[in-house]
Amino acid sequence: MKAIVATDQGAEAAGIKLAERPEPTPAINDVVVEVHASGFVPAEWEWPSTWVDRSGHDRAQAIIGHEFAGVVTSLGYGTTGLSLGQRVFGITDWHRDGTLAEYAAVEARNLAPLPGAVDFTVGASLPISGLTAWQGLFQHGRLQAGQSVLAHGAAGAVGSVVTQLAREFGAYVIGTGREPDRQAALDFGANEFLALDHEDLEDIGGDLVFDVIGGDIQRRSASIIRPGGTLVSVVGPAETRPVDGLAVDFVVESVPSQLVEIVDRVRDGRLRTHIGTVATLDDAVPALNPTERRKGKTVIRVRP
């Protein structure tokens, strides 16, 4: 089968190639999925699991990509809850071969049904962005109606979902980003927008800051957390903690019940995804190695 594999950690995106790999077989409690579309997160180059397995051994020629939508074609021994021919979407284990391939072996417990009304391309854009937003807001940020949320990168793949979910649950959302992102963030539902390239972050406050940027922006964000508030980070532990609040960093987990909540919102129009570049598997290498800044989620269509 065709697959996109990582060959050179130092080269990052420049070190990937389209290759032929054996089709996977399902282990106990696995399914094999015929992949129709796969999302991609650029930060994958920074994840240790991209390059080594759980024992620390080199993962040479590892298939990249970890979120996808497709159709179940094979069931492993003991697999329950899914059936052959079923449309599914979700996240694969970080240390296993991924989803930028014609087929992927996945633990059945990591998958949720994909409704027929939701396109495979849209389904593939949801798992990591949607679950990151859901878990950051509700599990780790413990968002409550009436609170204010500062959503960094509000026009991005994660930030746009953070903005929409926070608004749905009764929060006041201040989106941030670059000035050209202002209208997109407002269109996704931000009550107001702060341009980080020329407006002062310290002039505002928030009960919850959702950080997808890190660095200096994260350090400055700690100072604007209101008493009892929370700084939620998906880019590593906070270097500076709020004086009278919490700092939480987390790695997204696959929770099928949350995937169902998210895709139901997409199906009925409450939630919009932000898909940017869409390319075929044959054209995936240049699409994953852009020469300019890309907006939104990159999705690779593996099948028409």
Degrees, nearest 5: CA angle 146-171-180: 145
pLDDT of residue 20: 96
* Confidence class for position 101, pLDDT limits 50, 70, 90: very high
Confirm whether pTM is higher than 0.85. Answer: yes
Q: Is 233 helix (H, G, I), strand (E, B) or coil?
A: strand
Token readout for 266 is 């997409």
- The Cβ of residue 29 has, within 10 Å, a number of other Cβ atoms equal to 15
Task: State the DSSP H helix or E strand holding residue 34, giving kind and residue range, or none if neither.
Answer: strand 30-40
The pLDDT of residue 70 is above 90: yes
**Cα–Cα nearest to 138, from 115, 106, 166, 105:** 166
* Confidence class for position 198, pLDDT limits 50, 70, 90: confident
pLDDT of residue 293: 73
* 194 beta partners: 176
pLDDT of residue 295: 80
Token readout for 109 is 């417990």
Give mean pLDDT, residues 28-45. Answer: 92
Sign, Cα dihedral of 120, 125, 130, 131:
positive
Percent with pLDDT over 70 in the chain: 100
**Cα–Cα nearest to 299, from 155, 134, 127, 151:** 127
What length is written for the chain?
A: 304
Q: Which CATH superfamily is domain 141-249 in?
A: NAD(P)-binding Rossmann-like Domain (3.40.50.720)
Pair 303, 35: CB distance under 8 Å = yes
The pLDDT of residue 181 is above 80: yes
Q: Which residue has the higher pLDDT, 70 or 13?
A: 70
The pLDDT of residue 89 is above 90: yes
pLDDT of residue 173: 98
Of the options 3.30.930.10, 3.90.180.10, 1.10.10.10, 3.40.980.10, the CATH number for the domain spanning 2-127+254-301: 3.90.180.10
Percent with pLDDT over 90 in the chain: 76
The pLDDT of residue 90 is above 80: yes
pLDDT of residue 290: 77
Q: Which residue has the higher pLDDT, 58 or 167?
A: 167
Report the alpha-carbon distance of residue 105 to residue 294 in Å, rounded: 29
* 17 beta partners: 5
The pLDDT of residue 149 is above 90: yes
pLDDT of residue 46: 79
pLDDT of residue 200: 85
Q: Which stretch of 56-60, 196-200, 243-247 has the lowest confidence by average pLDDT?
A: 56-60
Q: Which residue has the higher pLDDT, 294 or 143?
A: 143
Q: Which stretch of 107-116, 150-159, 202-211 has the lowest confidence by average pLDDT?
A: 202-211
CA distances from 40 to 149, 225, 285 (A): 26, 31, 12
pLDDT of residue 175: 97
Report the alpha-carbon distance of residue 44 to residue 191 in Å, rounded: 31
- Taking the domains of the chain in order of start, what are their residue ranges? 2-127+254-301, 141-249
Q: What's the chain's average pLDDT?
A: 93
Token readout for 138 is 């509700």
Sign, Cα dihedral of 61, 21, 72, 116:
positive
Report the alpha-carbon distance of residue 33 to residue 108 in Å, rounded: 10
* Confidence class for position 54, pLDDT limits 50, 70, 90: confident
The DSSP output letter for 140 is I
Pair 273, 129: CB distance under 8 Å = yes
Pair 11, 89: CB distance under 8 Å = no
Strand-pair category, 2-6 with 87-91: unpaired
